[in-house]
Chain A
């Protein structure tokens, strides 16, 4: 089955800095890669996703890149703000499956 590795487990940045979270996946058949943000005590919320036919997608301060050859994808957050502090989960879903495999999560701390 699919295996998703996520790094780093904890990321601490100063407000205004950029943050990058990286994930690798094992199943070359995976074609959908969502990212979720989970604030303390809240549900995971989908913040951005990318399909396998796209190399990059951007939404305001967040962007995701996908390298299918290397089987890795990354979340980029620019101009970080304290409200970006949360746990971020990447996931990969193989074609033909409705079930994504989640990474272990990255705790992002943005210091004011």
Chain B
């Protein structure tokens, strides 16, 4: 399985500001995914990020609020823009495994609190 790291692990931010979360993988992967997990809730996909193309956003998520970069096959960033307390969540990046069925593996998550 891939080794995935995220920075920061947690942050407390003021409303109206932005935070960029980094995701680094120890091997090259085609697809990277960004999820949001609100307290006590399930995993909600924000967007899929492929290297060299714009991210594909799920219903309810827009690029202006959650811009994503994918500059190479081992790295991606997610920015949470103009934050409000409702953005307080855990943000997880995820990648596919390398076998033929492409299991997903998750990073450790970034716990964001917006005051």
What is A's interface to B at a CB cutoff of 8 Å? 32, 34, 36, 42-46, 49, 51, 89, 98-100, 102-105
Contacts and interface: CB of A to CB of B under 8 A. Distances in A.
Given A34-B104, A98-B31, A102-B42, 19 more contacts: A34-B103, A36-B106, A42-B108, A43-B92, A43-B107, A43-B109, A46-B1, A46-B103, A46-B104, A49-B101, A51-B101, A98-B48, A98-B96, A98-B102, A102-B43, A103-B42, A104-B42, A105-B41, A105-B42
Interface string B38-60: 00011101001000000000000
Contacts of B96: 98
Nearest to B105: A46
Contacts of B104: 34, 46, 100
Interface string B51-75: 0000000000000000000000000
Contacts of B106: 36, 43-45
A30 to B, nearest CB: 13
A45 B31 CA distance: 18
Contacts of B45: 99
A99 B105 contact: no
Contacts of A51: 101
A34 B96 CA distance: 13
B104 to A, nearest CB: 7
A102 B96 CA distance: 16
Nearest to B58: A99
Most chain A beta-carbon neighbours within 10 Å: one of B41, B42, B96, B102: B42
Given A51-B101, A98-B31, A99-B48, A43 B42 contact: no
